[in-house]
Amino acid sequence: MKIVIQNILIFSSRKTGFETPMVDMVIQNIENHSLSIDRDITAFAKKMERRLLDDSVLFIIFIADDRELDFLLSIEDRITNHALILILPDQHQVRLKKAYKLYPRYIATMDQHIKDTLMVIRKIMSPSKTIVKETA
């Protein structure tokens, strides 16, 4: 059975302006899906917990600082089995190593081109076309 993503939950804190160009591009390019944006990491985590049994949710998390990443790591056992895209502020090696512990589908940084991230989001959102051939 193929799971189709129908809902997107986005977290982006206000303090760094992460919600500006990249979040706007994500919002403009994702159509026909339920979209929710949270600015508070604790409120976002509560929403995540309510949706953990729902495989049709894509979590897109813009990490502003190590505090937010450490908070996610504290609840990693509850989120590692879900479609998760992390967007980090930079390519700091320690931060990347921590981010990989969450087993995201994709990790981007704010200095990457938005098109790469959008392509991954579209790929996750679209149902795959699996071809099954019978053998004699």
pLDDT tens digits for range 72-106: 999 888 777 788 999 998 999 999 999 999 999 99
State mean pLDDT over 24-30: 70
For residue 107, list its beta bridge partners: 86
pTM of the model: 0.80
Distance CA 45, CA 62 (A): 13
For the record, the structure tokens of 13 come out as 């804190």
Instruction: Inform me whether the pLDDT recorded for 45 exceeds 90.
Output: no
DSSP labels for 33-102? SEEEEES-HHHHHHHHHHHTT-TTEEEEEE--SHHHHHHHHHTHHHHTTSEEEEEESS--HHHHHHHHTT
Per-residue confidence (pLDDT) for residue 113, from 0 to 100: 75
Query: Worst-scoring range by mean pLDDT, 25-34, 40-49, 67-76, 98-107?
Result: 25-34
- Domains of the chain plus CATH, in order, are 7-125 (3.40.50.2300)
